[in-house]
A and B are shown apart, each in its own frame.
Chain A
């Protein structure tokens, strides 16, 4: 069975500082990996996804993530955050296209001025 662990429940950071949100997964087969962002009382928006190929994936809003198979990680990074990046971020894994997503517990990113 798949599982996703987001190691930090909250990450406070000052504006324009870099940030890394950590995500580790477990699965017995090849997986597809996703990062979503959720603003209060809204649905989820896809930031980026890893399906195959280059392990460094670039997404929207300046975010990127690196797939590390040996460490079973898919950490999300941004070199310089903005106040508007304050939201909750979810890492998710799927064992194949068309299959269900399993989500991590989420990480709340709080950007302070």
Chain B
């Protein structure tokens, strides 16, 4: 099966700093990657969709200047939470799809805590 790896698995940062989360497809080329946020005891909410080499498409209500997404290669997408605040604390999960593929493969998630 296809493997998607997220790094780091967990991170604690101070309020006002920026944090970068990486999402890598280890054994396939991911033309499309998705970033989700999951608050405690809630479902996954899609934040943005990124296609390799183009700008990400953000869902309504997601601040694109706060959540910077880069998909510069077919195996790597990054999510940068800029000027993080405690309300940004959440579980962030990425998923990746091959070109023409139906299935999205999920990373293991990143637990972000802003103090």
A joins B in a complex = yes
B98 nearest in chain A by CB position: A98
Residues of B within 8 A of A32 (CB): 102
Among A17-25, A37-45, A73-81, the stretch that binds chain B is A37-45
Query: Does B104 contact A101, Cβ atoms closer than 8 Å?
Result: yes
Q: Please tell me which one of the listed residues B34, B100, B103, B106 contacts residue A100 in the complex, with CB atoms under 8 A apart.
A: B34
Interface residues on B, range: 20 to 34
Q: In the complex, what residue of chain A is closest to B102 when comparing beta carbons?
A: A97
Interface contact B43-A104, CB-CB below 8 Å = yes
Q: How far is the CA of A90 from the CA of B108 in the complex (A)?
A: 15
| Chain B, interface SS category | strand
Minimum distance in angstroms from A15 CB to a CB of chain B: 24
A47 vs B77: C-alpha distance in the bound complex, in angstroms?
25
Give CA–CA (A90, B106) in the complex, Å.
Answer: 13
Given contacts A43-B107, A46-B105, A101-B46, 18 further A-B contacts (CB under 8 A): A41-B91, A41-B109, A42-B108, A43-B4, A43-B93, A44-B44, A44-B93, A44-B95, A44-B106, A49-B103, A90-B43, A90-B44, A97-B101, A98-B101, A100-B49, A101-B34, A104-B43, A105-B42
